[in-house]
Copies of this chain bind each other. A is one copy, B any other.
Amino acid sequence: MRAIVLASRPVGTPSRENFEMVEVDGEKEKLRAGQVRLRPRWFSVDPYMRGRMNDVPSYIPPFRVGEPITSEAIAEVIESTTEGLSTGDLVRAHLAWQEESVLDARFATKISSDPGMSPTYYLGAMGMPGLTAYVGLFTVGHLREGDVVFISGAAGAVGSIAGQIAKTQGNFVIGSAGSDTKIDELKQLGFDAVFNYKKSAPKDALRSLAPNGIDLYFDNVGGDHLEAAIGSLRNFGRVSLCGAISQYNSTGPTPGPRNFEGNVIRKRLEVRGFIVSDHQDERVAFERDMAGWISSGKVKVLETIYEGFSSLPDAFLGLFSGSNNGKMLVAL
List A residues at the B interface (Cβ < 8 Å): 51, 58-59, 219, 222-223, 226-227, 235, 241-244, 247, 253-275, 278
Contacts and interface: CB of A to CB of B under 8 A. Distances in A.
Contact of A254 (B51, B58, B258, B265): B258
A261 B272 CA distance: 10
Nearest to A267: B273
B274 A247 contact: no
Question: How many copies of this chain?
Answer: 2
B261 A258 contact: no
A244 B259 CA distance: 10
Nearest to A58: B266
A269 B264 contact: no
A240 to B, nearest CB: 10
A199 B241 CA distance: 34
A243 B260 contact: no
Given A270-B272, A272-B270, A265 B242 contact: yes
A226 B258 CA distance: 13
B257 A241 contact: no
Given A253-B259, A257-B260, A260-B257, A265 B244 contact: yes
Contact of A247 (B223, B235, B255, B261): B261
Contacts of A274: 265, 268
A151 to B, nearest CB: 16
Nearest to A260: B256
A163 to B, nearest CB: 20
A229 to B, nearest CB: 12
A223 to B, nearest CB: 8
B253 A258 contact: yes
B256 A257 contact: yes
Contact of A265 (B253, B256, B275): B275
Nearest to A247: B261
